[in-house]
Each structure stands twice: as structure tokens, then as C-alpha cells.
Amino acid sequence: MKHIKLGTLDVSRIGLGSMGMNAFYTGHSQDEVESIRTIHRAFDLGVTFIDTAEVYGPFTNEELVGRAVKRRRDEVVVATKFGFLSHSGRAAGSLDSSPASIRTAVEGSLKRLGTDYIDLYYQHRVDPDTPIEDTFGALAELVAEGKIRHIGLSEAGVRTIRRAHAVHPVTALQSEYSLWTRDPEEEVLTVLRELGIGFVPYSPLGHGFLTGQIRSTEDLADDDWRKTNPRFMGENFQRNLRVADEVKAIADEVGATPAQVALAWLLAQGDDIAPIPGTKRVERVEENTAADGIELSTEQIAKLDNLTPASGDSHNEAGMRLLER
Ligand SMILES: NC(=O)c1ccc[n+]([C@@H]2O[C@H](COP(=O)([O-])OP(=O)(O)OC[C@H]3O[C@@H](n4cnc5c(N)ncnc54)[C@H](OP(=O)(O)O)[C@@H]3O)[C@@H](O)[C@H]2O)c1
């Protein structure tokens, strides 16, 4: 597995997203043994970058990751996130990146992860009620104390990225980026490269849709988060099946699976990009990790660049309001 640098942090260029093991998607929290086997298989295949968050579960996903990394802590980069849960008394559902909330959040994450340091600690969404300078001031103190080693942002816009980076170097931005979510190409990637900040695409498989395995929303449980996502609703869903079919046609040409092609396309965007495909299944982590060995031709990349655009926003209205654009 090839490695890249996010800022100064060395990671395998394909990571593992663990969110779906305990939250949001159909079948979560049902087979912890398989989830842990999936994490170990990823490590055996050379993945050194695992992604979780306080809010996944909440809490249970960090606990699971903590159990999985126990004997291999020094070999892997553990990334987690704070900010969706308030520990300073704000109303339930409020973002909270106040210094007081971060102080409590980090202690909880360290405990659940069974570690005394977090390699990469991201703010999960920009908090409109706390200046980013205050948030980064608190995070810089945690770096000085050795509790966290690197700082990241998620779905932050370029103005916030610049302001944060002026207080303490930002190691990585984690935002949605995939064949059907191209927003970071407009402005964000340019600014990250100017500042030497790495990029971690989340939902690189389009929440599974780009793999072509989801052909009907009937396949999803009633409480599956994707049922609230406009791209998975009604006519949008039917129209988007065409995008999945286009990816499949190119994958057939490449001699790879659609998931591998979706990942290989992201890898081709630069050596400062490390996607974190999510799965809770051993066979899929094997498939996804093998994308490291796939080289797309210029023509194949051009075809993928020109897929039919997705129908529907990438989040529902409330979710879109939390994304800085
Ligand atoms: N910063 C943020 O706000 C944010 C938001 C969302 C996600 N994330 C992070 O990004 C990670 C990845 O994103 P994601 O999980 O939302 O979406 P994703 O990686 O685009 O897709 C995951 C979905 O695809 C399925 N899948 C995975 N590999 C597959 C394959 N080879 N063939 C067919 N289906 C496959 C998974 O099902 P199975 O599990 O059943 O295999 C799961 O339902 C998360 O785990 C999380 O760590 C961060």
C-alpha cells in the first residue's frame, strides 16, 4: 500500500471509515466480530489510517475502534472528531466547539479509544457560535499537552481554513468528495495545496451508491440515514441509477469493480489525498484496499470526470446548512 503525507502526517493512501459499523447505515451494530475482523484485515493489508468520531453511535464506534487497535496502537493513525455533541450545556443538537466542550470531549474520546493520544483530531462541523480562533487555541493547547498530535477540519470553507491555519497548522480537511460530489474542486483543493494541507475525502463511494449495489431504496432499513438524503429519494434515486451504471461500464472496461474505480479516480486527483471508504465487511475491505493497485488511463479519468452529474443535494436541508461553502 502506498503512503502519502497529509501535511506532515504519514498515512496509507487508502484508509478505513468505521462509521457504518455502529451508526447511520443498514445493519450497523449487528456484528461486532466481523467489524473488528474488518479493521484487522485492513491493517494486515497495509491500511494505517482509521476514521471514527465521538458522535458515531454516539460513543460506541470509538469504543469498537479502541478495542480493535489495542495491540497495534503504534502502527496506526487514529483519527476522531468532536463538535456534534455539546459538553458545555448547549441545547441537544447544537454544534459545540467551545474550548470547554472540547476539553471534556477529548477526555472521553481518549478513554473510549483506550489511548493516551489521538493522531488526528478533527472539528466535525464549523461551530457558528465559537470563533475558530478560540477552537484552535484550545486544540493547540491539547497538542502542547500531547493529547492530540494533529488537527483537522471537516466541511470547512476556505475562509475558516485560512483563519484556523493562522493559529495552528491544519493537517487535513475531511469533506465529502467523490465521483458524484465534486464541490471541493472549485476552490477548496487549491487553497489546501497553497497551505500544504492534506485532503481526506469522506463517503468516497457515495454512501455505497456508486458501487452499483444499491438498486432500490427498499434495500435500506427504515432508519437508514440515506433515506433522508435527497439523492436516495424518489425520482432523484431513479435518475442517479444512471450514474452508477456509467461507473459500472467504465469499471468493466478497466477490469475492476465500480468501488475500485471510484477510489482509483480519487487517488488520481493527487498525492495529498487519502480517501476513507467505509465498510464493515472483510471481503469489501479487501476489494476496496486493492484499488491502490489500479492505474486509470487518461481517457478513463476523462470519462469519469464527465459522468452525468448527480440529481439532488448531497444532504437534506438541515445537513446542507452545516456545510460551509
Ligand atoms: N466528516 C464527516 O462529516 C463524515 C461524514 C460521513 C462519513 N464520514 C467518514 O467517512 C467514512 C466513509 O464514508 P461513508 O461510510 O459515509 O460512505 P462510503 O465509504 O462512500 O460508502 C460506505 C457504504 O458502502 C458500502 N460499501 C463499502 N464498500 C463496498 C463495496 N466494495 N461494494 C459495495 N458496497 C460497499 C458499505 O456497506 P457495508 O458496510 O455493508 O460494506 C456502506 O454502506 C465513514 O465511515 C466515516 O468515517 C465522515
Amino acid 44: pLDDT: 98
Look at the chain and count its residues.
325
How far apart CA 274 and CA 77 sit, in angstroms, is 12
Ligand 1 centroid from CA 220, angstroms: 14
- Given a cut of 90, whether residue 325 has pLDDT beyond it is no
Mutate to test the pocket of ligand 1, among 175, 207, 219 (most ligand atoms within 8 A of CB): 207
Mean pLDDT, to the nearest integer, of 190-214? 98
Closest Cα to atom 29 of ligand 1:
284
Q: Would you say the CB of residue 150 lies under 6 angstroms from ligand 1?
A: no
How far apart CA 110 and CA 108 sit, in angstroms, is 6
Atom of ligand 1 nearest to the CA of 204: 20
Mean pLDDT, to the nearest integer, of 86-101? 97
Question: b/e string for 110-136 if b means 16 or more Cβ within 10 A?
Answer: bebbbbebbbbbbbbbbbeebebeebb
Q: Would you say the CB of residue 212 lies under 6 angstroms from ligand 1?
A: no
Q: How far is CA 302 from CA 149, 162, 267, 299, in A?
A: 38, 31, 14, 5
Q: Catalytic residue among 25, 56, 121, 122, which? A: 56
How many C-alpha atoms does 136 have within 13 Å on its Cβ side? 20
Mutate to test the pocket of ligand 1, among 55, 113, 279 (most ligand atoms within 8 A of CB): 279
Annotation marks residue 177 as catalytic: no
| Model pLDDT for residues 224-245, shown as the tens digit of each residue | 999 999 999 999 999 999 999 9
| Model pLDDT for residues 45-70, shown as the tens digit of each residue | 999 999 999 999 999 999 999 999 99
Ligand 1 centroid from CA 23, angstroms: 11
Residue showing cell 487517488: 267
Q: What is the chain's mean pLDDT, rounded?
A: 98
Ligand 1 centroid from CA 148, angstroms: 25
Cis previous bond, 131, omega within 30: no
Q: Would you say the CB of residue 174 lies under 6 angstroms from ligand 1?
A: yes
Ligand 1 centroid from CA 140, angstroms: 30
Q: How confident is the model at residue 200 (pLDDT cuts 50, 70, 90)?
A: very high
Helices (H), 114-257: 132-144, 158-167, 188-195, 234-254
> Three-class SS of residue 172?
strand
Q: Would you say the CB of residue 26 lies under 6 angstroms from ligand 1?
A: no
Q: Would you say the CB of residue 213 lies under 6 angstroms from ligand 1?
A: yes
Q: Which residues contact 231 (CB under 8 A, 6 or more apart)?
A: 180, 206, 209, 237, 240, 310, 311, 312, 313, 314
Closest Cα to atom 41 of ligand 1:
279
Ligand 1 centroid from CA 295, angstroms: 22
Say which DSSP state 175 is in: E
Ligand 1 centroid from CA 238, angstroms: 21
Q: How confident is the model at residue 88 (pLDDT cuts 50, 70, 90)?
A: very high
323 Rama class: left (phi>0) / alpha (psi -120 to 50) / beta: beta
Closest Cα to atom 35 of ligand 1:
208
| Model pLDDT for residues 8-48, shown as the tens digit of each residue | 999 999 999 999 999 999 999 999 999 999 999 999 999 99
Q: Would you say the CB of residue 23 lies under 6 angstroms from ligand 1?
A: no
| Model pLDDT for residues 140-177, shown as the tens digit of each residue | 999 999 999 999 999 999 999 999 999 999 999 999 99
